[in-house]
Amino acid sequence: MTIAPPFFLTSAIPYVNAAPHLGHALELVQSDALARHQRARGRSVFFASGTDDNSLKNVRAARAENTTPAALVARNGAEFGRLAQALGVELDDFIHTASDPRHVPAVHALWERCAIAGDVYKKAYRGRYCIGCEQFLRDSELVAGGCALHPEPLEILDEENWFFRLSRYEAEIFAAIDGEKLEILPKERKNEVLRFVAGGLEDFSISRSRARAHGWGIPVPGDDSQIVYVWFDALASYLAVLGYPRAARFDELWQHGGERVHVLGKDILRFHAVYWPAILLSAGLELPSALRVHGHITSLGKKLGKSLGNAVDPFRLLRRYGVDAVRYYLLAHLHTTKDSDFREDLLRAAYSSELAGKLGNLLQRVCALCRQNALFSELDQAHSETDPALREVAARARVGVEEAVSAFALQDGLRAIFELVSAANRYADASAPWQLAKLARAAASEPEREKATSALRRSLASLIEALLVTAELLEPFLPTTARGVRARLVPFPTLGEPLFPALPSS
């Protein structure tokens, strides 16, 4: 039997200048769904996340709060870890770049390999710097003289920094992306990167002065007057979490591994699709095999963000609606790769109508009928006894989920699953097992009773089969719901508390 190669997955590590918002929850649950999907298919998965602690944004946030950067990133970083746990995200590792002992050696080793390759040099530079993006902007990228994403005015910086020779890798990066050695989904993001690379790559700064960094961050090897640029630092975390440069795990999962997949937002695509591959090429390391690029959560068309003051607290939503209601809304009702507006009323409606109304109600009815009629003391129904049309919908749902995950269109995977749930509800209405149960009890003769009971068993067996397939397919997306469905059906149907209790009033 062929053993599938390992699967290394990361979500992007966010700045911790403030508490996490719903956009961070979106990326975590998307990544978790991908990791769980692979685990369910028997693959060895290593799924990591973390926090980006060494940014100037964090320094400024700490100064605004009259605290130290170390105290701020420790406090806020813990909240990001807590969010992952609250969302039921099954991480294998979580790295804090300011405090994890693996990180500085990884950053320094990566820097030194790029320097040995001749790709690191020092020069004076003047440019417009966006503190929100933590990058210099070209004139062609300005909108009304500022950043398109962040409202803060740009800073005009004039200083001497270390630079990376990005221009040297223009052709290799284009070829890797165009030939899908580095696959980028969705395709429009791939095309966006190819256009950017074709326009010509300029060398970029990979350090900042110690004075401007207020002493916070990782010193440049051999130059204590400079601090490693936050993006060079942050991207290295993907190697640090594997123990680079010496750990066997790094060799297994990066240099000689199967798939190396980064999940990230569209606003940081360039760093992952252009800067990161160039750094890896310079260092003689393997490229990521894939980038999965998600859209933003918006409010009235504007991206959720700390600086815009429209952040949505995910912890409040989790307390009010529960983990799987939040996961379901994020994965099923927000488009995976396009921007989507968040509306709490639609979250409530999705919970009440789809989770509780379609899935939860069907499960309760099936279990109640089995209990009331003493059917299925164990799940011994033959597969051949179940409804072939419903089995066909289940087969299509399996295919739909596989295709959706492969295409990074997770909302389509949930749609395929709930098409099965809807088909099961229609089958329940058509086969009317509650009417069959009444006929069996009121039958005037044994043949009539046997006929009604046989039809009832077939109806319920078909519905149980559909519910079990639903649970199997839901597991990567809604693990708690999947476990709840199976617990009520295996080893035999049992009637318990509703899987989805009524919501509190608005």
Q: How many domains does the chain have?
A: 2
Instruction: Find the domain containing 53 and state its range.
Output: 7-294
Question: Do 380 and 237 reside in the same domain of the chain?
Answer: no
Question: Do 187 and 40 reside in the same domain of the chain?
Answer: yes
Report, as an integer, the average pLDDT of 486-499: 90
Question: Within 13 Å and on the Cβ side, how many CA atoms surround 164?
Answer: 29
- The span from the CA of 101 to the CA of 232, in Å, is 17
Among residues 294, 310, 334, which one ends one of the domains?
294
Tell me the pLDDT tens digit for each residue of 144-157.
777 767 667 777 77
Which residues make Cβ contacts (< 8 Å) with residue 333, sequence separation at least 6?
Answer: 340, 346, 347, 350, 411
Q: For position 418, which CATH number holds?
A: 1.10.730.10
Which residues make Cβ contacts (< 8 Å) with residue 392, sequence separation at least 6?
Answer: none
Question: Do 265 and 118 reside in the same domain of the chain?
Answer: yes
Question: For helices 479-489 and 446-474, what crossing angle results, to 10°?
Answer: 160
Tokens of 354: 């789809």
Question: Do 60 and 188 reside in the same domain of the chain?
Answer: yes
Question: Do 361 and 283 reside in the same domain of the chain?
Answer: no
What is the phi-psi region of residue 93: left when phi exceeds 0, alpha when psi lies from -120 to 50, beta otherwise? Answer: beta
What per-residue confidence (pLDDT) applies to 53?
97
Q: For position 39, which CATH number holds?
A: 3.40.50.620
What per-residue confidence (pLDDT) applies to 376?
63
Confirm if 457 and 463 have CB atoms less than 8 A apart.
no
Catalytic residues: 21, 24, 130, 133, 147, 150, 303, 306
Tell me the pLDDT tens digit for each residue of 82-108.
999 999 999 999 999 999 999 999 999
The answer to whether residue 269 sits within a structural domain is: yes
What per-residue confidence (pLDDT) applies to 131?
67
Question: Do 278 and 353 reside in the same domain of the chain?
Answer: no
Which residues make Cβ contacts (< 8 Å) with residue 281, sequence separation at least 6?
Answer: 169, 172, 173, 287
Arithmetic mean of pLDDT over the chain: 92
Q: Which amino acid is at 23?
A: G
The answer to whether residue 312 sits within a structural domain is: no
Which of these ranges, 78-87, 359-368, 370-379, has the smallest mean pLDDT?
370-379
Does the pLDDT of residue 377 top 60, yes or no? no
Question: Do 160 and 250 reside in the same domain of the chain?
Answer: yes
- The span from the CA of 430 to the CA of 460, in Å, is 12
Report, as an integer, the average pLDDT of 10-35: 97
Predicted TM-score of the model (pTM): 0.93
The answer to whether residue 313 sits within a structural domain is: no
Question: Do 120 and 257 reside in the same domain of the chain?
Answer: yes
